[in-house]
Amino acid sequence: MMRYLVKRLLYAVPILLGVNLLTFALFFVVNTPDDMARLQLGAKRVTPEAIARWKTEHGYDEPLFYNARAAGLGKVVDTLFARKSVAMFMFDFGRSDDGRDIGREIRTRMWPSLAIAVPVFAIGLATNISFALLMIFFRGTYLDWAGLALCIVLMSISGLFYIIAGQFFIAKLWHLLPISGYSGGIHALRFILLPVLVSIVAGLGSGARWYRTIFQEEIGKDYVRTARAKGLSEVRVLFGHVLRNGLIPILTGAVAVLPLLFLGSLLTESFFGIPGLGSYTVDAIQAQDFAIVRAMVFLGSLLYIVGLMLTDVSYALADPRVRLG
């Protein structure tokens, strides 16, 4: 187990390097820092001095990959690529355009994100599985068919609709909950409820349908027939056998997204005014703040890779047939 983990950790390094190279290429090679400066400063005030000043302020005043003016190792080290990459891997994300420390912002903003994402994940998973089990229990009947049709209709409606409809009806017309906003401590609950509810409904269609497919595959297997032949009731078969075996792919799939919960949801957070990482990212994209977007890309990939490793481990823990070596 340990050996496997170490192997996976080592495997993650080239992937992160690849991500870093790709994002660097996207942000600095396709469009040079000069282009960025011109865009940020606006077309009118562009003098070479202004561009140079902007680049110095943002730490972009070095060659991209190869510094001909430096001596020795400096030829490679004193470059944008080396500096920015090393800083990323040290979790030093630098400063955003408005001068704030990105690392600190991330540390404070991840809590509101988690406050939304964790309940959505947990309750959503439970709801989806229950709904899928219900459909399987009534499989072949009109109830199953209606449930499936409902799932397809639910997943055909844009996520934006659920948010807008939720805000409009629950908050604006019926005044049950605040439209948007956030506050710390126990008062957060009032603000969290609506986004959580909306996100769960928005995810119900595709989630329940996917889990239904998994359960349906399980229910056609031989062990289920054996269990029925033993004289077990349909409920016991469903909960004792199908659910337990079906949970393996479901839980391992869920583990993969667990680390990504830190990033929060772009849409939900910015619609509901939650000061989390999702709305941070949306604001950064809209303000064209390249430093923040780059930091979030790096963080996202890191968490994704952690999720992949967790998946492998959880496979080994949940399924005794899987041995990692």
Which residue ranges make up the site for other proteins (CB under 8 A)? Answer: 14-15, 18-19, 22-23, 26-27, 30-31, 35-36, 38-39, 152-153, 155-161, 164, 167-168, 172, 260, 263, 266-267, 270, 281-282, 285-286, 288, 290, 293-294, 296-297, 300-301, 304-305, 308
CB of 27 to other proteins, least distance (A): 7
CB of 73 to other proteins, least distance (A): 27
CB of 206 to other proteins, least distance (A): 9
CB-based contact 136:238 (threshold 8 Å): yes
Task: Compute how many other C-beta atoms are within 10 angstroms of the C-beta atom of residue 246.
Answer: 24
d(CA 16, CA 237): 44
Tokens of 90: 């040290």
CB of 204 to other proteins, least distance (A): 15
CB-based contact 41:51 (threshold 8 Å): yes
d(CA 68, CA 79): 10
Considering the complex, state which of residue 23 and residue 252 has its C-beta at the smaller distance from other proteins: 23
Considering the complex, state which of residue 47 and residue 156 has its C-beta at the smaller distance from other proteins: 156
Widest pairwise Cα distance in the chain: 84
CB of 9 to other proteins, least distance (A): 15
Considering the complex, state which of residue 191 and residue 298 has its C-beta at the smaller distance from other proteins: 298
List all residues 6 or more positions away from 129 whose beta carbon is below 8 Å from its beta carbon. 211, 243, 247, 250
Considering the complex, state which of residue 70 and residue 308 has its C-beta at the smaller distance from other proteins: 308
CB-based contact 62:78 (threshold 8 Å): yes
CB of 216 to other proteins, least distance (A): 10
Name 6's bridge partners.
none
CB of 231 to other proteins, least distance (A): 29
Considering the complex, state which of residue 16 and residue 70 has its C-beta at the smaller distance from other proteins: 16
d(CA 246, CA 249): 6
d(CA 41, CA 47): 10
Considering the complex, state which of residue 130 and residue 288 has its C-beta at the smaller distance from other proteins: 288
CB of 150 to other proteins, least distance (A): 12
Considering the complex, state which of residue 26 and residue 193 has its C-beta at the smaller distance from other proteins: 26
Considering the complex, state which of residue 231 and residue 286 has its C-beta at the smaller distance from other proteins: 286
Task: Compute how many other C-beta atoms are within 10 angstroms of the C-beta atom of residue 12.
Answer: 17
User: What does residue 45 show for φ and ψ, rounded to 5 degrees?
Assistant: -90, 20
Taken in order 34, 38, 39, 40, is the CA torsion positive or negative? positive
